[in-house]
């Protein structure tokens, strides 16, 4: 779902697929004007742009799409050199912190296991350990029957318990050739402390890849800063993020701790303040590595904690950098199509970045999802409401749940109408629920029952008000270009 995403530009600037810009081609920078939404993405012979169009003339970019593999794709760096390829969204990913599985009793031949059989033609993506490593791509090898093995903490090789639904495979050959489209990273705009980098696909496609705060030499995304201004603040995979859930770096649970994939790799750390709904993000230089981690228990006591042996690297905060040290973005309405306005961030005279859609009749930001009839419509942009909680012991009065970090109080609740999440309904958000919360408990071989459940202390629950007919929302049509 794209519940908190407002189109392809926001996805890219949020760090998806963003790699090190040091691998850019040597071709001279091209000075180009990027002040219209259509200028940020162009389809080629194979990589297309999925857009949602309306009868009023809107052409909103939703995703890049590989027409040969018939899947959405994103530009990502691949081993050995970090070259960019548009990788489809259905790769079977093996996380860097996932312990390796083996196909032999001596734990020498590494394999792949899946909870269920993988389709023929699956591509495997094996993440490299940080820092600086790139994912490797393999074809799916032959399926293997028999035991699967795992090393224990002392180095011993032990068979996993049998599981009839589990499937094990060998790694096939490394992916080569034209399985995916290759692209070159080019800088096209650099002005007033901000640069825009684009991927030029070998098929003629053209896609925004990331923004760069040039004075700091770091990928950035437009966010609300600590002083409530809009600025291009550090973003992407190469920064440390303040841990949520009450985790701290000191025994009094008062000092924030920052998590990063690798130790000593990130230069910057970002934190949402306790009053994040009124202000925004604080940026620090990354402080020293720490192995100490603390968390508050339910009774408020500060206790030692751990994220396990394969957890992220923990950092303390360094010096805070003032918001004024980052490029400022100013609001701009880029286009109007009927009641939908394309809202953007004006970085400078040559760069206006589209950030999202705004429905002037509904007075809310919106994004396109399908309704219960399969029609694309611009639904209000809300947190990811998931029904499944109830206000009564018979589990009939549904509740929607939000978290403090969503900073959302209405006026709408968008919920998925099916378990697959491919159909949506919109309600007016009702009053906040203050009492006990219930959920349906479903266990194999037992009748479904309604039972009281605990809820996170940072969450809030809301009654659903009157449903808004989907016909009240702006319709759209999916296209490829």
For residue range 105-153, list pLDDT tens digits in order.
999 999 999 999 999 999 999 998 766 689 999 999 999 998 999 999 8
> Under a CB-based contact definition with an 8 Å cutoff, are residues 24 and 186 in contact?
yes
| Burial of 278 from C-beta contacts in 10 A (0-12 / 13-18 / 19+) | exposed
pTM of the model as a whole: 0.86
pLDDT digits (tens, 9 = 90+) for 254-289: 898 999 987 877 899 999 765 557 678 999 999 999
> Per the structure block, which two tokens stand in for 19?
């790699």
Q: What is the mean pLDDT of the chain?
A: 89
> Under a CB-based contact definition with an 8 Å cutoff, are residues 124 and 94 in contact?
yes
Closest listed residue to residue 170, CA positions, set 135, 134, 128, 118? 118
Residue 61 is given by DSSP the state: E
pLDDT digits (tens, 9 = 90+) for 206-235: 999 999 999 999 999 999 999 989 999 999
| Cα dihedral 467, 412, 16, 187 sign | positive
pLDDT digits (tens, 9 = 90+) for 341-394: 999 999 999 999 999 999 999 999 999 999 999 999 999 998 867 678 999 999
Closest listed residue to residue 427, CA positions, set 409, 411, 406? 411
pLDDT band at 450 (very low <50, low <70, confident <90, very high): very high
Residue 20 is given by DSSP the state: -
Q: How many CB atoms neighbour CB 166 within 10 A?
A: 14
């Amino acid at each position: 779902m794209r519940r908190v995403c407002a189109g392809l530009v926001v996805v890219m600037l949020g760090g998806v697929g963003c790699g090190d810009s040091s691998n850019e081609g040597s071709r001279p920078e091209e000075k180009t004007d990027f002040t219209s939404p259509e200028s940020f993405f162009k389809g080629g012979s194979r990589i297309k742009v999925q857009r949602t169009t309306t009868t009023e003339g809107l052409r909103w970019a939703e995703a890049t799409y590989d027409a040969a593999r018939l899947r959405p794709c994103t530009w990502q760096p691949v081993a050995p050199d970090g070259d960019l390829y548009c990788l489809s969204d259905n790769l079977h990913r093996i996380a860097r912190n996932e312990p390796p599985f083996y196909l032999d009793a001596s734990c020498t031949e590494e394999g792949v296991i899946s909870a269920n059989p993988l389709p023929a033609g699956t591509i495997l993506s094996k993440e490299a350990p940080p820092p600086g490593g790139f994912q490797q791509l393999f074809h799916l090898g032959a399926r293997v029957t028999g035991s699967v093995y795992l090393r224990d903490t002392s180095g011993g090789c032990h068979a996993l318990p049998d599981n009839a639904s589990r499937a094990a495979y060998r790694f096939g050959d490394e992916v080569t050739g034209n399985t995916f489209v290759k692209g070159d990273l080019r800088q096209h705009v650099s002005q007033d402390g901000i640069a825009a980098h684009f991927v030029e696909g070998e098929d003629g496609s053209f896609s925004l890849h990331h923004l760069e705060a040039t004075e700091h030499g770091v990928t950035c995304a437009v966010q609300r800063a600590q002083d409530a201004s809009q600025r291009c603040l550090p973003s992407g995979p190469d920064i440390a993020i303040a841990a949520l859930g009450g985790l701290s770096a000191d025994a009094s649970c008062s000092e924030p701790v920052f998590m990063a994939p690798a130790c000593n790799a990130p230069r910057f750390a970002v934190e949402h303040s306790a009053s994040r709904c009124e202000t925004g993000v604080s940026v620090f230089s990354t402080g020293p590595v720490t192995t100490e981690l603390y968390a508050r228990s339910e009774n408020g006591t500060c206790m030692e904690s751990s994220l396990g042996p394969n957890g992220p690297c923990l950092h303390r905060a360094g010096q805070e950098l003032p918001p004024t040290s980052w490029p400022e973005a100013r609001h701009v309405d880029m286009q109007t199509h009927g009641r939908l306005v394309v809202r953007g961030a004006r970085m400078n005279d040559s760069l206006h970045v589209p950030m999202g859609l705004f429905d002037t009749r509904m007075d809310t930001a919106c994004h396109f999802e399908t309704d219960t009839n399969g029609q694309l419509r611009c639904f209000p942009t809300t947190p990811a409401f998931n029904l499944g909680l109830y206000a009564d012991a018979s589990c009939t009065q549904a509740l929607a749940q939000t978290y403090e970090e969503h900073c959302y109080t209405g006026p709408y609740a968008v919920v998925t109408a099916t378990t697959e999440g491919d159909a949506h309904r919109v309600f007016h958000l009702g009053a906040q629920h203050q009492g006990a919360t219930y959920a349906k408990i479903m266990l194999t071989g037992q009748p479904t029952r309604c039972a009281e459940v605990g809820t996170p202390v940072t969450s809030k629950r809301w009654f659903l008000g009157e449903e808004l007919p989907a016909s009240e929302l702006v319709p759209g049509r999916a296209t490829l270009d």
